[in-house]
Structure 1
Amino acid sequence: MPDILIPLHALKGRGVAHRQPHRFERDARAAFDDGWGTLDEALARGEEATAPATQVSWETAKSAITRNDSPDIGFNQGLNPYRGCEHGCIYCYARPTHSYLNLSPGLDFETRLVAKRNIAELLRGELLRPAYVPELLVIGTVTDAYQPIERELRLTRAVLEVLHTAHHPLAMVTKGSGVERDLDLLAPMGAQRLAAVYVTITTLDAKLARILEPRAAAPHRRLRTIRTLAEAGVPVGVSVSPQIPFVNDDMEQVLEAAFDAGARRAFYQVLRLPWELSDMFRQWLELHYPDRAARVMARVQDMRGGKDYDADFATRMKGRGVWADLLRQRFVKTCDRLGFNREREALDAGQFRPAALRGQGDLF
């Protein structure tokens, strides 16, 4: 049962209001009324109703590049400068990863962040290994590399500097407008077929985005980011993910707006609810959409073989069944009509120049 501390609506700017117990915990705690009305009085006074501040701890990482062999993921190498994400997206499938840190995938995931202090130095060392074979490196595969703390910590910037120097191909997916800060690196790399950026726009409905992705850039701001990247010559695409039945039902409008802004590639995924995320998302639905919560979850289960989630590689990204097929048809037809995904020029790993990194260790 969720460890509910305060009403979700009291926490402006946060996606979850409770410290959801993670799956490795033995005990779960819940606030309760002791009969004297103290809990209600505290809430009435506004005690603990202020959104908790973000805390950042430093980690000395052991490696920079992560590798996967999942057949449904179109890349083999990823990199994430941060654990946890301040954007607070309620649907984030990465929330359960905080459980491995003995932290809650609920409020802790968006307030107790971990920064990898040596990420750029590690990356440089890994690229210099004689056995390293260059291929596309995707940044922000788990949590957003341009979440708000990047403005101060600049770890993503340091990583881009290494890749820029080495002429190593990269792609990234982000909701953060902070990516515009690094156009001095991304623009020349884009012109050399070494960089591409995908901006996630889940909906154009600002009111929905505010409760769905409370600390991410507003939809209109993300469209401006697409336009800025495209005008600078960076190959840019849009992710219309996740698709949530009866919640964000404006896929076609998002694709049209993104294409008008300059995006020429697009992809989507359906809602994924692994581990603890299912309970959190259900609570969010009951709060914001009580009239349709059961209907939303029924359609989610239709796409997951009757369960909230199915991790099968063949279906986890797009789902299965009638509703999943309907989403696929909508996406494909809209992309064909607008002209998305007609140019599939691959990024060029043949330009990799590791020798350029030698003697640069003191930069980080």
Structure 2
Amino acid sequence: MDDERRRYQIKGRAAGSNHAGRFERHTRTLIDDGWAVEEELPVLRTQISVERPRSLITYNRSPDLPFDRSINPYRGCEHGCVYCFARPTHAYLGLSPGLDFETRLVARPEAPAVLRRELAARKYKVAPIAIGTNTDPYQPIERDQGIMRACLQVLSDAGHPVAIVTKGSLIERDLDILGDMARRGLVRVGVSVTTLDAKLSRLMEPRAPAPERRLQMIRRLSAAGVPVRIMASPMIPALTDPELEAILAAGRNAGARTASWIMLRLPREVSPLVQEWLAAHYPDRAGRIMSRLREMHGGKEYDARWHARMRGEGPYAEMVAQRFDVSAKRLGLRKSAPPMRCDLFRAPVLEGAQMSLFG
């Protein structure tokens, strides 16, 4: 039994272990004290710490990504999706990509002010900002923190385009801002639906909204005029990929206009976590799933090469891609959305700065 499971009752968490991050020199091991006394273990609670970022916008040059910049209001994610490819980033904080990733979260309350300052910089050139590409901006702690809403307001006031990816139903709280931005061509939202099976979702994404609730999000966003993408991601071979067509159809029926898919990715610590999860919940399929993934990555569990990391290669990957293309075409779902407007951007005026004579 993993040390963390011997220290706590772990309910509603996906990770089955909490091994030290790859940069740590020491590991923690529990030792039996010899007292044969049964004790009720405390429940593992979510902890939130605060970070004051000096910069917020992160730039990338990845040729297989449709954006070149992103922001993250939080580090770690309470949704706790076992397959999350962002888990390894927690190791940079000296924390475990396992249970720490979903229980020891970092909020960045000064993010809106830092974002406003960076948008106001003379050298800043406008292009769509992505939010939610690492950790979900509408995870449960956003309800109290409100950092995402404040960042969204900064972008709206500046007329800046933004692309959001989320599973969080809390996005509906911000329909007032999102609806206004949509009318100006400044926003699009991607909603990730991994499976339509509520039981599987609860095991795999324990604190994310159920699949039907996410479809309801799509309906409400679409009704407010917000362009929505149904994201069938990640597809897990022999577990969720049989649902691909059904997920796309459900998304289209809920109002999605575009669609995309990504194959399961297992970078660094994600691979042992997912294999541990498969052994616990789907031992009969674990071997087949891992075999398919290695087949798509040249015998490895993960291939970080651009253009190969998202979809894999080989007959199986090509078959899934063809199924997606056929289904999306039949349902009238586009692969790409019209570009958002960048011509409405006006740099924020910082307090104490001289305003333009001509506004």
| Global fold match (TM > 0.5) | yes
Provide the C-alpha distance between the structure 1 equivalents of 2:167 and 2:104, rounded to a whole number of angstroms: 19
1:219-298 correspondence runs (5 A): 219-248=211-240, 249-298=242-291
Provide the C-alpha distance between the structure 2 equivalents of 1:360 and 1:91, rounded to a whole number of angstroms: 46
Is it true that 1:337 corresponds to 2:339 in the alignment?
no
CA offsets 1:228-255 (integer angstroms, 9 cap, x no match): 0000001111111001111113111111
- Residues 32 and 310 of structure 1: is their aligned pair in 2 closer, same or farther, counting only changes over 3 Å? farther
Provide the C-alpha distance between the structure 2 equivalents of 1:360 and 1:9, rounded to a whole number of angstroms: 51
**1:46 to partner: Cα distance:** 4.3
Provide the C-alpha distance between the structure 2 equivalents of 1:113 and 1:59, rounded to a whole number of angstroms: 10
Other-structure match for 1:320: 313
Match of 1:162 among 136, 139, 154: 154
- What secondary structure is seen at the aligned counterpart in 2 of 1:291? helix
- Residues 333 and 8 of structure 1: is their aligned pair in 2 closer, same or farther, counting only changes over 3 Å? farther
Conserved? CA contact 2:7–2:41, under 8 Å: no
Letter in 2 for 1:21: A
Other-structure match for 1:29: 28
- What secondary structure is seen at the aligned counterpart in 1 of 2:283? coil
Provide the C-alpha distance between the structure 2 equivalents of 1:257 and 1:151, rounded to a whole number of angstroms: 27
- The alignment yields a C-alpha RMSD, in angstroms, of 2.0
Provide the C-alpha distance between the structure 2 equivalents of 1:20 and 1:206, rounded to a whole number of angstroms: 29
Other-structure match for 1:210: 202
- What secondary structure is seen at the aligned counterpart in 2 of 1:292? helix
Provide the C-alpha distance between the structure 2 equivalents of 1:344 and 1:241, rounded to a whole number of angstroms: 18
1:1-364 correspondence runs (5 A): 3-6=2-5, 11-31=10-30, 38=36, 42=38, 46-48=40-42, 50=43, 52-248=44-240, 249-341=242-334, 344-355=337-348, 357-359=349-351
- Residues 251 and 4 of structure 1: is their aligned pair in 2 closer, same or farther, counting only changes over 3 Å? farther
Conserved? CA contact 2:2–2:16, under 8 Å: no
**1:21 to partner: Cα distance:** 1.9
Letter in 2 for 1:47: L
Gaps of 5+ in 1: none
**1:10 to partner: Cα distance:** 5.6
Provide the C-alpha distance between the structure 2 equivalents of 1:93 and 1:32, rounded to a whole number of angstroms: 32
Conserved? CA contact 1:66–1:79, under 8 Å: yes
Identical amino acids, percent of aligned pairs: 48
**1:215 to partner: Cα distance:** 0.2
- What secondary structure is seen at the aligned counterpart in 2 of 1:193? coil
Structure 1 length normalisation: TM-score?
Answer: 0.92
Conserved? CA contact 1:3–1:28, under 8 Å: no
- Residues 95 and 360 of structure 1: is their aligned pair in 2 closer, same or farther, counting only changes over 3 Å? farther
Range that drifts further, 201-210 or 24-33: 24-33
Conserved? CA contact 2:9–2:41, under 8 Å: no
Other-structure match for 2:356: none
Conserved? CA contact 1:239–1:268, under 8 Å: yes
Conserved? CA contact 2:195–2:247, under 8 Å: yes
Letter in 1 for 2:23: F
Conserved? CA contact 2:72–2:132, under 8 Å: yes
Conserved? CA contact 1:85–1:147, under 8 Å: yes
**1:99 to partner: Cα distance:** 0.2
Gaps of 5+ in 2: 354-359
Provide the C-alpha distance between the structure 1 equivalents of 2:182 and 2:162, rounded to a whole number of angstroms: 10
Range that drifts further, 25-34 or 214-223: 25-34
Conserved? CA contact 1:3–1:31, under 8 Å: no
**1:337 to partner: Cα distance:** 0.6
Conserved? CA contact 1:20–1:280, under 8 Å: no
Provide the C-alpha distance between the structure 2 equivalents of 1:231 and 1:3, rounded to a whole number of angstroms: 46
**1:8 to partner: Cα distance:** 12
